[in-house]
Homo-oligomer: A and B are copies of this chain.
Amino acid sequence: MAKHRVGLWLIGACGSVGSTAALGLSAVARGATAPIGMVTATPAFDRLNLDSLDKFVVGGHDIRRGRFLETVLELHARSNIFTTAQIDIARPDLEDWAHNVRPGTVLASGQSITELAELPEVRQVHTPLDAIARIQADLKEFQKGNSLDQVVVVNVASTEPPFIAGDEHSTLAKLKPLLERTTPVIPSSSIYAYAAIDLGLPYVNFTPSVGSCLPAIHELARLKKVPLAGKDGKTGETLMKAVLAPMFAARNLRVMSWVGHNILGGGDGRTLASPDNKSSKVQTKDAIVRDILGYKPQTHVSIEYIESLDDWKTAWDHLHFEGFLGTKMMLQFTWQGCDSILAAPLMLDLARLTLFAQRRGEAGPLPHLASFFKSPIGVNEHDFFKQYMMLGEYVSKASLTS
């Protein structure tokens, strides 16, 4: 195994989350910082044969100019994260990996994402099939050029507007011929997913965009024996919801209303300021409480872009609940976290766990990864602790067999 090397291919590579992950991967691998925030760095995972972080090479697609190092320096200056020492130690890796970044595609990404595109190449393809071909060429070059045993593709690009699947997405047979037309039948996130899966590469969707979540693409994953993980990383307010809602259920306290106001800056915030893109996010954030409680309290979720916060995010939640003898009580919380810092280690966890799953021959949605996501695929469980127990059981089983 000593020579085993793996690739981490990021869609939206040079954004905040991608760049933070690249920096962290290097800084942890080089011993400059402890892997705090990585679930797979806890002792429970020691007995799994996961890829250590120094095995990873990073590459990816992006639609903007920009390199890992530049994004990292900008985050450092504006959001007050990372130390100079961490950046210095990771600098050679970040500069190396920058050569692995290729122009992405904005085909059918919606207007606010398309406006972000700075590279002329991103607009040059005209059919999904052309886009897939170009993406696959990039992936193959990356794998071959770096002599990688495995490559995992992770979507950390900006959230797309909501997308309604139709009959044409129900089977691979129906979808395939439509990929040749200029009318885009699937959004960008699904084009990337299709390209990766078709090549046999595990695919992780850390965003609320559609990605692999179409029956036709799931069919492809089963066909190609590719493990899938997604969607929408659960990093802050929604993690709190998944943790607190079970408490109210267990104690038979009736939640009457749950209001969540999110304010955030940074690149993610700017994209979410567009109502279309925001609505994708709000939908996944809002369903969890109802699913866990088994009834529908009044809920309200807002997300607002506040420039001065940069990459920081503050969520204020107000829960109004009824207790014994009809008494109304309140819980409020304020979560002040840095989005990229919370997301990046989980993304690395998912990369390690899906590469591991592929080696074990697992394919399709991986239900044991539910605790990482707001909208877990392949399983309908939102209670964080039940989800986490599923992961624990998987680890126990996989430890025995590996």
Contacts and interface: CB of A to CB of B under 8 A. Distances in A.
A38 B324 contact: yes
Contact of A318 (B263, B302, B371): B263
Given A37-B253, A308-B256, A309-B320, A338 B345 contact: no
B320 A37 contact: no
A267 interface: no
The DSSP consensus for interface residues of chain A is: mixed
A39 interface: yes
Contacts of A257: 263, 306-309
Given A41-B252, A257-B307, A302-B302, A329 B320 contact: no
A332 B219 CA distance: 44
A345 B324 contact: yes
B326 A336 contact: no
B250 A388 contact: yes
Interface string A262-285: 010000000000000000000000
Given A252-B42, A257-B308, A384-B247, A37 B324 contact: yes
Given A83-B77, A244-B243, A325-B82, A330 B336 contact: yes
Contacts of A309: 257, 320
B37 A252 contact: yes
A27 B337 contact: no
Interface in A328-381: 328-338, 341-342, 344-345, 371
A270 to B, nearest CB: 13
Contacts of A324: 20, 24, 35-38, 341-342, 344-345
A261 B317 CA distance: 11
Contacts of A345: 252, 323-324
Contacts of A240: 247, 331
A372 to B, nearest CB: 10
B261 A323 contact: no
A16 to B, nearest CB: 12
Nearest to A330: B336
B327 A81 contact: yes
A82 B252 CA distance: 18
A251 interface: yes
A385 B325 contact: no
A314 interface: yes
A147 interface: no
Contact of A326 (B36, B342, B344, B371): B36
A341 B329 contact: yes
A122 interface: no
Contact of A333 (B82, B254, B304, B333): B333
A239 interface: yes
A295 interface: no
Contacts of A80: 80, 328
Nearest to A40: B252
A239 B252 CA distance: 14
- Most chain B beta-carbon contacts within 10 A, residue among A309, A316, A318, A323: A323
Contacts of A81: 325, 327
- Most chain B beta-carbon contacts within 10 A, residue among A36, A246, A336, A344: A36
Contacts of A250: 39, 371, 384-385, 388
A401 interface: no
Which A-B residue pairs are the 10 nearest by beta carbons?
Answer: A256-B308, A37-B324, A385-B385, A333-B333, A330-B336, A327-B341, A324-B345, A37-B323, A329-B337, A261-B261
7 contacts: A250-B385, A261-B302, A263-B300, A308-B320, A316-B332, A323-B337, A323-B341
